[in-house]
Amino acid sequence: MKYTTVRVRIVRALLLAVLLTLAVTVSAQQEPFTSGELDRFIRDWPEFIAWSEARGEAIQAEDFSDFSSVYTYTSDMEQFLEQRGWSADRFFYVATQTSTGLMALELSAQMPGMIQELERQRDQIRETPYFTPEQKDEMIAGLDEAIAQWSQVEFGDKMPASEMQLISARRDELRAAFEWE
């Protein structure tokens, strides 16, 4: 029985949901990006990453909920982006929104499997002889609560719908730009 593993996965998923919400809140100051900006971003992001890595400025952080906090704005970086028609703020806004949107799409796709896993764990708890009835009731109540909460979650619902539509339509291109497996 790997009840602890399920709890860890649930906690991680909840933390990611909070990060997604925070990323959208931080980015709410900007206008939604356009299809043209997304075209340019898909073209320019890999080049920006290669330029950054060549300068020893590769992304080191694990929290990509706000790309503008990962990089130190330098005049060289701003010039690099300006040559491609970007302000640094706008470029990192699009980076943050597209990565957040992709995470939301990925989590949405995984949600049915996660709920099925929680239901499977609940059934295993019912059948196991290793827990007392009280322990089983407590664990099952926790899983039932998690299932109910996860069943209501809609990832990406706080982002502008126009952005989520663009991200969804260009999902594969964005995954390639970000080098997501």
Where do the domains of the chain lie?
A: 3-177
Q: Which residues of the chain have pLDDT under 50?
A: 1-3, 6, 8, 11-27, 61-64
Kindly report, residue by residue over 115-163, the tens digit of the pLDDT.
Answer: 888 889 999 999 989 999 999 999 989 888 888 887 776 666 688 999 9
CA triplet 66, 79, 34: central angle to 5 degrees? Answer: 50
* Percentages of the chain per state (helix, strand, coil), in multiples of 5: 75, 0, 25
Lookup: tokens for 4: 């602890």
